[in-house]
Amino acid sequence: MTNTPTKMKVVVAMSGGVDSSVAACLLHEQGYEVIGLFMRVGAEPDESAAPEVADRHRGCCSAADAADARFVAGLLDIPFYALNFQKDFDRIIDYFADEYANGRTPNPCVVCNHDLKFGKLADYADAVGARYLATGHYARIEQHRGQLRLRRGVDSHKDQSYVLFGIERAMLDRILLPIGSMSKAEVREHARRFGLPVCDKPDSVDICFVPDQDYARVVRQRRPDAFRDGDVVDAQGKVLGRHSGTPQFTIGQRRGLGIAAGVPIYVTGIDPKTRRVTVGTREKLFERGLIGERANFLIDEPDDVFRARVKIRYLHKAAGATVERTSDDTVRVIFDEPQPAVAPGQAVVFYDDDYVIGGAWIREPCDPADEDALPADSIASHLSEA
């Protein structure tokens, strides 16, 4: 990025955190004409929250974050605008509540990236004649095998390529990710070099509209009818206890079950229609495969069957798997080794070494023993098995 054309216009999504602030500073230093944008989403903290919750950093939504972003823009002497995305963000919270009400585990960060950060903000970039859109995500966009590809961030502990799988491939040549080749420590050092007051600002670790991590509270506010008493059962259907609503549970959950079984037990199934929550030992969590829907690929048309490293949630260690495209937007994933807590509603993302092939939304687990055998001779051999 050292040969950047002077005054090439770029819109930077500035959240008020250290990552997006440094991204804006680096691009400004490199000669871009930077325009800072802050998304007002209306997800302000609950004033009735406990002090320890109220004191926590909430992410990219609060008035304090807006003030931090505006201050950094002032230091750079760049235009800064706060855009009202409250209605759009409200639909994301509705999606979050609906997924839990339907026994699924949502991922609002993926949806926000697709719909807002690389959707609505891209529209704004078009409106102001900006060639590029930049964010403070820990990921990279690089040429690989003749294609522009999304790649993991250098800092493996901060890598955010998983939550970017849903962006449109056509956007790749317009997106700048200035900090993707840095560690968090390096980003904070740049912040000190630029004299930013947010250099030591804590990372946001919560969903911004659920700062207390009480997801059920948000669902109850939006979908109160989803909270009806039901049974907690084992794999054989034996009733072990009662619950007050399936939205309080997610696949793989261990805490908060209210059942003394003598051994650790986990949520292994959720049926909102019968209001049954199934629990079992950790061994019952493992699945051989899954069906994904609404697939999005960030490479030229992939083979019908290919090998990949697969992540089924943000903190999941990528596992070897065979991926079969069963239709234009549906895939079947068969793991080399069974994986725990395959949660419908979460994203499944496919990697070729460090590069994102694409991803989908988990519809349900599946067992290859119940499916037709995969054609082994059609498995692509050019993908890495790192």
Instruction: Please identify every residue annotated as catalytic.
Output: 112, 208
Q: Any residues with CB less than 8 A from the CB of 50 and at least 6 apart, and which?
A: 212
Decide: 19 and 158 in contact? Cβ < 8 Å.
no
* Secondary structure in 3-state letters for 82-101: EEECHHHHHHHHHHHHHHHH
Please state, in angstroms and rounded to a whole number, the distance separating the CA atoms of residues 84 and 89.
Answer: 9
> In what helix (H) or strand (E) does residue 270 lie, and over which residues does it extend?
strand 266-271
Q: Any residues with CB less than 8 A from the CB of 58 and at least 6 apart, and which?
A: 43, 45, 65, 204, 206, 208, 211
Place of tokens 């019952």: 284
Q: Which of 378, 334, 362 is nearest to 107 (CA)?
A: 362
Q: Any residues with CB less than 8 A from the CB of 41 and at least 6 apart, and which?
A: 60, 61, 85, 86, 88, 89, 116, 208, 209
Burial 28-39 (b: 16+ CB within 10 A, else e): bebebbbbbbbb
CA dist list (Å): 126 to 4, 69, 111, 113, 133:
20, 22, 21, 17, 10
Place of tokens 């891209």: 122
Please state, in angstroms and rounded to a whole number, the distance separating the CA atoms of residues 345 and 342.
Answer: 9
Q: 36: phi > 0 → left, psi -120 to 50 → alpha, else beta; which? A: beta
> In what helix (H) or strand (E) does residue 71 lie, and over which residues does it extend?
helix 63-76
